């Protein structure tokens, strides 16, 4: 694979390198101590015999824990990135090629200016430590246009102090009330705030894209290595690692980048180091601070230090936690309203007219059998408990809650856009543009022998080309056909659960005839099961369905990745979008198919006694006397809560602890061996931070959002359970990132990506879904029609009898007659439907009442959908995506930056030296430029309004005249920044000799 490289490597003369530089060196101990790879002083997380940071349980009290060794052996150059490779792989047939590839790759890294030091002491894994000098960091900061803080003397004073006379003498009543409300809310939130003495608030200074030619704009610290944060340093190093080739010849255009090398097993891992250990007793470090004040369970009711999370983990991970925290906060009002609706249902559960009529034993209403032949006649009063519980959720409060959640979903998305815009500006992501992605290593590996090549119009490189109609279209068609079959598998599972419910309910109806026992306990238990046959059937069926859902999710996850790999997508973004669509659709169908069946199909097409519609010879399911809404509630609650308990609590909390416990028991390392491990060895044994880790977190929350919004009318307590789950979820995820995973690369991201579109689509589906649930599944519309049209006194008295149709038992077929006649001879039975009685012609046909109610239901759906859609669209239109003040602050920052650069460059062109005093003077004139009349609302000393005009010096006048042609372009440039973000509103300080005009 590398013939030319091998000869040059063997000769020790590659690109003019000295042979001594070519030799792979091993760091050797000096005076019996290995100074090149000292252990970091902290204890392995699996060691219970000693405290963290290497302090044994018998250490002296005054011993201070050592800080983790994060430097080269000179103790000065900081480790910015680690590379690891397997010693065993080097001994295989491909080992020589791997060593040669690493050699040329590291040679190219050194050419780029990176510094490398190796640790080859291990018997299984060797490491390479990478340091980026400040010159390299500055060069790439200039190339990548990384926004850096400007000098303090350019933005040290607030604009309000400069323009204090612009303030109105009296604020409006509304403004003062709003400010008082904000202050009160902040005081109420104090108990939930994190400790700002340990995690101080991060102010946002004025920033501009770094330019090596305009360093006068930036404040350089005394130690230049501290200018760039560790997350920025690792991000720049990763940018370099992803672009350097590892082949001498140019024949292989795609033999480049650390990702391709890891895919080819040349390296086994590439990661930045954690700052230190997280355990109690460790030396103070950012990782431990985040664990103690963010990830620890004692902080579960506190807000998150998102800015500090961003400094350690980068924008992409911090944005996920910011979104999750915002979503959790927005669940608080939804939970409160849901609880109020629940308590309202409790208050009317026993007192409403429908429950009273059903539970009245004097109403001798005999119901038709629930199944053919085997099931007996039964009395309506037997369903008393079921009807009472159904009224708990099927009431007018449910309609209000459905409308509220529709508005809540819109407000959540709109306020998140504003929050996201603020975050983008505070984190300097307003102008972030994702770089052109190289092909995925897996894409190149699969098509290594592909002959059809095409020049990429962006990069100009030849890449493997897959013709759409001959290659891609058949694969996509097959892939999505398989997806349909997988979705049909979930539907088939639902049909199987339906068959279970029908057969189980029929079997439970036979209990009185089958159970013959003198044992009191057996008889009582059988009677209890018989009385609650419907509830037992519903709960057991939902549990079985939950187990099937979890098993199918495992199958769906494997097949979704297999299908996406088969599609052979070029870039990682295309791959991520494809897997997102597949997994979301499959899991949506898997989780919601049974719920959709109960909500919209169960009991709709069953027929009537004597003429039931059958499927495969069996009767379809019917809704119970209390309706299908309570069954929908039970199904939704079990699937949603069961998913959270099993997936979130068991899989994410219990399973990792069990695995860690097993590893600890199987480990054969001694305590001394654990303490001797270096920082990179300890981080290497942690789980790698996969690129798809955040994908599963987002998918989990988006599915939860679907449970909340699409079926909120059936389960008002869903927001409360979601709130409790998310409080736990934040700490579980935080603990995972700080303790269980290697430090992930600090990737940049300006938004949550495709997930916002998914959330918006779910919100729109929820409006339609809740409209149909209220209209079709609940009894809200029939009750309303009865009160307004058929009730004599406008109440619900007589409503139960109104909903029951009559059936003459002699009209049963001979093969349909019930065998059990425990209630004696029954001539007329009732069933829930709106049909003509047997004495009317035509008998058993849909009655006029049915069509009245159907019309009312459809009318309600149309009115509900249109009203809610119009109002939510109006709310979305009225709430700007970016706060107005934020736009102004962005424009202000861009204006000041451009003006300083233009005027400073002009003076440099005239031969003036750029000094701090010069920059301050220029900034003063920009911030307090009186060349344009400025009106003051305050009165002057003589009681008249004045317009003050300040005369510029000759130098300023000439500078202004010379730059008049460029101001327009700078203002236009400033306007382009007005998309999102939030500024601290700081400006330069006023000159001490300037005169204040009042």
For helices 572-600 and 754-772, the axis angle rounded to 10 degrees is 10
- Over range 68-73, report the average pLDDT: 87
DSSP secondary structure string for all residues of 818-874: -S--TT---SEEEEES-B--TTSSSTTSBPHHHHHHHHHHHHHHHHHHHHHHHHHHH
Q: How far apart are CA 631 and CA 497, in angstroms?
A: 14
Has residue 178 got a pLDDT over 80?
no
Q: How far apart are CA 228 and CA 234, in angstroms?
A: 10
What does the block give as tokens for 328?
Answer: 């959790």
- Over range 567-573, report the average pLDDT: 78
Q: If pLDDT is split at 50, 70 and 90, which confidence band does 985 have?
A: very low
Residue bearing tokens 């979130």: 648
DSSP secondary structure string for all residues of 55-115: -BTTS-TTPPPPPP--B-TTSSSBP-EEEEEEHHHHTSTTHHHHHHHHHHHHHHHHHHT-E
What's the pLDDT tens digit per position in 312-339? Answer: 999 999 999 999 999 999 999 999 999 9
Q: What SS3 state is found at 358?
A: helix
Has residue 168 got a pLDDT over 70?
no
Has residue 81 got a pLDDT over 90?
yes
What does the block give as tokens for 469?
Answer: 């109609």
Q: Is the dihedral of CA 131, 134, 140, 141 positive or negative?
A: positive
Residue 779's pLDDT is what?
87
Has residue 130 got a pLDDT over 90?
yes
Quick check: 295 and 734 in contact, CB under 8 A? yes
Residue 40's pLDDT is what?
52
Alpha-carbon distances of 745 from 79, 239, 273, 748, 873, rounded to whole Å: 14, 11, 10, 9, 39
Q: If pLDDT is split at 50, 70 and 90, which confidence band does 857 have?
A: very high
Quick check: 129 and 117 in contact, CB under 8 A? yes
- Over range 244-263, report the average pLDDT: 77
Paired residues of 939 in beta bridges:
none
Structure-model confidence comparison of residues 813 and 960, the more confident one = 813
Q: How far apart are CA 675 and CA 846, in angstroms?
A: 82
Give the mean pLDDT of the chain. 77
Residue bearing tokens 């359970």: 721
Q: How far apart are CA 335 and CA 722, in angstroms?
A: 9
The candidate with the shortest Cα–Cα distance to 754, out of 706, 812, 699, 813, is 699
Quick check: 576 and 525 in contact, CB under 8 A? no
20: buried, middle or exposed (CB in 10 Å: 19+, 13-18, 0-12)? exposed
Alpha-carbon distances of 21 from 117, 145, 210, 530, 955, rounded to whole Å: 12, 34, 34, 85, 57
Q: If pLDDT is split at 50, 70 and 90, which confidence band does 953 have?
A: very low
856: buried, middle or exposed (CB in 10 Å: 19+, 13-18, 0-12)? middle
- Over range 548-570, report the average pLDDT: 86
The DSSP element (H or E) to which 198 belongs, if any, is: none
Length of the chain as a residue count: 998
Has residue 602 got a pLDDT over 60?
yes
Q: How far apart are CA 356 and CA 800, in angstroms?
A: 10
What does the block give as tokens for 936?
Answer: 């003051």
Q: If pLDDT is split at 50, 70 and 90, which confidence band does 756 have?
A: very high
What's the pLDDT tens digit per position in 482-513? Answer: 989 988 998 898 888 888 888 887 777 666 65
Residue 389's pLDDT is what?
85
Alpha-carbon distances of 426 from 193, 257, 416, 601, 976, rounded to whole Å: 20, 32, 15, 50, 17
328: buried, middle or exposed (CB in 10 Å: 19+, 13-18, 0-12)? buried
The candidate with the shortest Cα–Cα distance to 375, out of 540, 258, 505, 243, is 505
Q: Please tell me the pTM assigned to this model.
A: 0.81
**What do you get for the CA distance between the two ends of the chain, in Å?**
80
- Residue 463 CA neighbour count, 13 Å, CB half: 20
Q: If pLDDT is split at 50, 70 and 90, which confidence band does 201 have?
A: confident
Number of other residues whose CB lies within 10 A of the CB of residue 484: 11
Has residue 402 got a pLDDT over 50?
yes
Q: If pLDDT is split at 50, 70 and 90, which confidence band does 762 have?
A: very high
């Amino acid at each position: 694979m590398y013939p030319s490289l091998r000869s040059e490597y063997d000769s020790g003369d590659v690109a003019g390198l000295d042979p001594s530089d070519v030799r792979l060196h091993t760091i050797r101990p000096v005076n019996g101590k290995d100074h090149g790879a000292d252990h970091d002083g902290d204890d392995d997380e699996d060691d219970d015999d000693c405290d963290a940071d290497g302090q044994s349980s018998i250490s002296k009290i005054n011993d201070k824990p050592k800080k983790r060794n994060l430097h080269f052996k000179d103790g000065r150059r900081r480790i910015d990135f680690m590379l690891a490779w397997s010693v065993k792989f080097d001994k295989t047939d491909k080992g020589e090629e791997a060593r040669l590839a690493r050699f040329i790759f590291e040679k190219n890294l050194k050419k780029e200016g990176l510094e490398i030091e190796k640790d080859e002491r291990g018997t299984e894994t060797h490491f390479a430590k990478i340091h980026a000098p400040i010159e390299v960091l500055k060069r790439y900061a200039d190339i990548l246009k990384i926004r850096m803080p400007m000098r303090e003397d350019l933005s040290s004073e607030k604009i309000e102090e400069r323009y204090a006379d612009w303030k109105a003498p009296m604020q409006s009543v509304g403004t003062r009330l709003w400010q008082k409300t904000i202050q009160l809310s902040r005081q109420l939130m104090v108990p939930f705030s994190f400790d700002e003495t340990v995690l101080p608030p991060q102010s946002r200074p004025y920033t501009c894209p770094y330019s090596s030619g305009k360093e006068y704009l930036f404040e350089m610290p005394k130690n230049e290595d501290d200018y760039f944060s560790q997350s920025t340093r690792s991000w720049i190093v990763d940018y370099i690692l992803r672009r350097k080739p590892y082949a001498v010849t140019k024949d292989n255009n795609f033999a480049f980048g650390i990702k391709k090398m890891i895919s080819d097993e040349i390296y086994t891992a590439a990661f930045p180091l954690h700052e230190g250990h997280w355990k109690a007793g460790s030396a103070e470090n950012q990782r431990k601070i985040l664990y103690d004040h963010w990830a620890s369970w004692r902080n579960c009711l506190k807000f998150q230090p998102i800015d500090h999370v961003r400094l350690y983990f980068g924008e992409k991970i911090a944005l996920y936690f910011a979104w999750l925290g915002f979503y959790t906060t927005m669940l608080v009002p939804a939970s409160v309203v849901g609880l109020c609706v629940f308590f309202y249902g409790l208050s009317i559960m026993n007192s409403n007219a429908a429950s009273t009529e059903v539970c009245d034993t004097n109403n001798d209403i005999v119901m038709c059998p629930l199944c053919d032949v085997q099931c007996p006649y039964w009395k309506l009063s037997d369903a008393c408990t079921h009807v009472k519980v159904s009224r708990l959720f099927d009431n007018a409060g449910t309609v209000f809650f459905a409308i509220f959640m529709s508005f809540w979903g819109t407000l959540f998305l709109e306020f998140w856009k504003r929050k996201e815009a603020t975050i983008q500006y505070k984190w300097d992501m307003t102008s972030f543009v994702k770089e052109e992605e190289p092909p995925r290593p897996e894409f190149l590996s699969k098509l290594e022998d592909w002959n059809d090549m095409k020049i990429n119009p962006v990069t100009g490189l030849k890449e493997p080309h897959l013709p759409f109609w001959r290659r891609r279209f058949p694969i996509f068609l097959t892939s999505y056909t398989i997806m349909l079959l997988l979705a049909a598998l979930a539907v088939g599972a639902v049909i199987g659960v339906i068959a279970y419910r029908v057969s189980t309910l029929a079997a439970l109806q036979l209990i009185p005839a089958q159970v013959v026992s003198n044992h009191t306990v057996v008889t009582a238990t059988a009677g209890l099961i018989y009385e609650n046959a419907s509830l037992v059937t519903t709960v057991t069926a939902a549990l079985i369905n939950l187990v099937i859902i979890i098993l199918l999710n495992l199958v769906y996850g494997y097949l979704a990745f297999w299908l996406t790999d088969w599609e052979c997508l070029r870039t990682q973004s295309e791959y991520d979008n494809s897997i997102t669509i597949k997994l979301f659709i499959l899991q949506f169908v898997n989780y919601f198919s049974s719920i959709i069946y109960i909500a919209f199909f169960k009991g709709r097409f069953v027929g009537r006694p004597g003429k039931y519609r059958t499927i495969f010879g069996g009767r379809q399911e019917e809704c119970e006397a209390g309706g299908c809404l309570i069954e929908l509630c039970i199904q939704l609650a079990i699937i949603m809560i069961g998913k959270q308990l099993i997936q979130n609590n068991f899989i994410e909390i219990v399973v990792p602890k069990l695995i860690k416990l097993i590893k600890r028991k199987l480990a054969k390392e001694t305590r001394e061996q654990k303490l001797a491990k270096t920082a990179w060895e300890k981080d290497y044994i942690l789980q790698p931070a996969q690129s798809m880790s955040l994908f599963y977190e987002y998918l989990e929350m988006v599915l939860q959002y679907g449970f909340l919004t699409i079926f909120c009318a059936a389960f008002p307590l869903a927001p409360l359970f979601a709130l409790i789950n998310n409080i736990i979820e934040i700490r579980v995820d935080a603990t995972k990132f700080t303790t269980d995973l290697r430090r992930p690369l600090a990737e940049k991201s300006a938004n949550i990506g495709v997930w916002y579109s998914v959330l918006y689509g779910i919100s729109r589906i929820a409006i339609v879904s809740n409209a149909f649930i209220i209209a079709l599944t609940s009894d809200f519309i029939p009750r309303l029609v009865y009160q307004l049209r058929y009730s004599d006194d406008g109440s619900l008295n007589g409503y139960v009898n109104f909903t029951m149709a009559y059936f003459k038992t002699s009209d049963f077929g001979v093969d349909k007659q019930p065998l059990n006649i425990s209630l004696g001879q029954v001539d007329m039975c009732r069933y829930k439907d709106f049909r003509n009685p047997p004495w009317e012609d035509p008998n058993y046909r849909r009655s006029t009442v049915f069509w009245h109610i159907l019309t009312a239901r459809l009318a309600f759906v149309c009115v509900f959908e249109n009203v809610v859609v119009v109002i939510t669209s109006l709310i979305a239109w009225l709430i700007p995506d970016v706060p107005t003040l934020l736009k102004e602050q962005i424009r202000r920052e861009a204006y000041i930056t451009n003006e300083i650069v233009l005027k400073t460059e002009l003076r440099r062109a005239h031969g003036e030296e750029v000094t701090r005093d010069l920059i301050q003077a220029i900034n003063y004139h920009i911030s307090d430029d009186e060349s344009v009349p400025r009106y003051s609302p305050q009165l002057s000393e003589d009681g008249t309004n004045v317009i003050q005009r300040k005369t510029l010096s000759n130098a300023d006048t000439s500078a202004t005249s010379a730059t008049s042609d460029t101001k327009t372009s700078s203002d236009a440039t400033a306007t382009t920044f007005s998309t999102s973000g939030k500024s601290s509103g700081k400006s330069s300080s006023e000159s001490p000799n300037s005169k204040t005009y009042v």
